[in-house]
Amino acid sequence: MGGRVTSYLILLHLLLVMFAEASAEVGEKSKQMEAASSDSSVLRMVTKMTANSQELNSMEYMNDPSNMIFFTTDDLKLGKKLPLNLPPKDPSTTPPMWPKEMADSIPFSLEQLPQILNFFSFSLGSPQAQAVESALHRCDIEPNKGETKFCGTSMESMADSARSAFGLGSKSSVKYLATSAHSTRSRPPYLQNYTLLQMPNEIAAPKFLACHAIPYPYAVHYCHYLEGDNKVLQIPLEGENGNVVMAAAVCHVDTSEWSPEHVSFKVLKSKPGMTPVCHVFPPNDLIWIPMDT
């Protein structure tokens, strides 16, 4: 009898400990969610990104000829100067990357727009609400047949989708590349001539996933899968003002099926199929490739 009582007390103690730990974890997550929804920096960040921040509206940024992110394979020569616009990440306008569990715990669809606006305390019709609605519109568009398009709300979700797009198992590894500034002296102007310090690290990438940052209170990327004769590059560059950048770029070898109106042809004064088109990815964008690539 005494042994049963002792066992019961031990079990009860373990259950109480587990319950206390679980309650503490839930409480901590609730605090994080509450802080995220009420943080004034979120309001400031979304306010800035609605003002056409080139760092966050990366899809519009890449389609703006004035941003000078395009070049050709003929430009890849040691010492070559490339006119590029490579602004560094600005912490005040860069949304936080949430862990998957946190991102999955709140709504993310156009149908749930009222709940989302309420969560972030954005007034209906405000610039912030319009930015959120625009992002959800984009993310809710169904991909065409044979296309892979989605919005990633966390690193984990993008990695999972990349594995699926590449036809890899759940235990296979993928990696991402991004443009990063290595200099602490990073300062304007960012549109300037950048000198190629070394020949780029070239990665054959018949399959890759391009993920572009879109305006949202936390980091959300619009991703699309590309397959074909492509090359992923890591290019060490130095600007005229001393900025040192490791630029992530992609070269599309076959452009024969592209629209003649594509912005790259305006910048490069070229035509579809005439030459491979390369472009640098803005600092908030990601290029996902298989680990063994």
Number of domains making up the chain = 1
At residue 159, does pLDDT exceed 80? yes
- Please state the pTM of the whole predicted model: 0.78
Residue 270 CA to residue 276 CA, distance in Å, equals: 10
Q: Does 274 map to a domain? A: yes
Per-residue DSSP letters for 76-119?
A: --TT-EEEEE-PPP-TTTSPP---HHHHHTS--SGGGHHHHHHH
At 197-232, the pLDDT tens digits run 999 999 888 889 999 999 999 999 999 988 888 899
Q: Does 30 map to a domain? A: no
Q: Does 248 map to a domain? A: yes
At 229-275, the pLDDT tens digits run 889 999 999 999 888 899 999 999 999 988 999 999 998 999 999 99
Residue 59's pLDDT band (cuts 50, 70, 90): low
Q: Does 10 map to a domain? A: no
Q: Does 2 map to a domain? A: no
- Read off the pLDDT of each residue in 31-60 and give the average, rounded to a whole number: 49
CA dihedral sign, ordered 235, 238, 243, 244: positive
Residue 120's pLDDT band (cuts 50, 70, 90): very high
Q: Report the share of the chain in percent with pLDDT over 90.
A: 53
Query: What pLDDT, on the 0 to 100 scale, is given for residue 181?
Result: 73
Strongest mean pLDDT among 8-22, 114-128, 183-197: 114-128
In terms of Cα–Cα distance, which of 267, 172, 284, 281 is closest to 226? 281
At 186-199, the pLDDT tens digits run 566 778 899 999 99
Angle between helices 127-140 and 113-120 (to 10 degrees): 140
Residue 11's pLDDT band (cuts 50, 70, 90): very low
Q: Does 55 map to a domain? A: no
Q: Residue 207 in contact with residue 290, Cβ under 8 Å?
A: yes
Residue 181 has φ and ψ, to the nearest 5°, of -95, 130
Query: What pLDDT, on the 0 to 100 scale, is given for residue 185?
Result: 57
Instruction: Quote the domain boundaries for residue 266.
Output: 66-290
At residue 26, does pLDDT exceed 50? no
DSSP 171: T
What lies within 8 Å, CB to CB, of 62 at 6+ separation is 69, 212, 263, 279, 282
Strands 230-239 and 220-227: unpaired
Count other C-beta atoms under 10 Å from residue 116's C-beta.
21
For residues 43 and 175, the model is more confident at 175
Query: What pLDDT, on the 0 to 100 scale, is given for residue 21?
Result: 42
- Read off the pLDDT of each residue in 36-59 and give the average, rounded to a whole number: 48
At residue 86, does pLDDT exceed 80? yes
Q: Does 57 map to a domain? A: no
Counted residue by residue, the chain has a size of 293
Q: Residue 218 in contact with residue 120, Cβ under 8 Å?
A: no
At 138-157, the pLDDT tens digits run 999 887 776 789 999 999 99
What lies within 8 Å, CB to CB, of 108 at 6+ separation is 116, 136, 139, 151, 153
At residue 16, does pLDDT exceed 90? no
Q: Does 125 map to a domain? A: yes
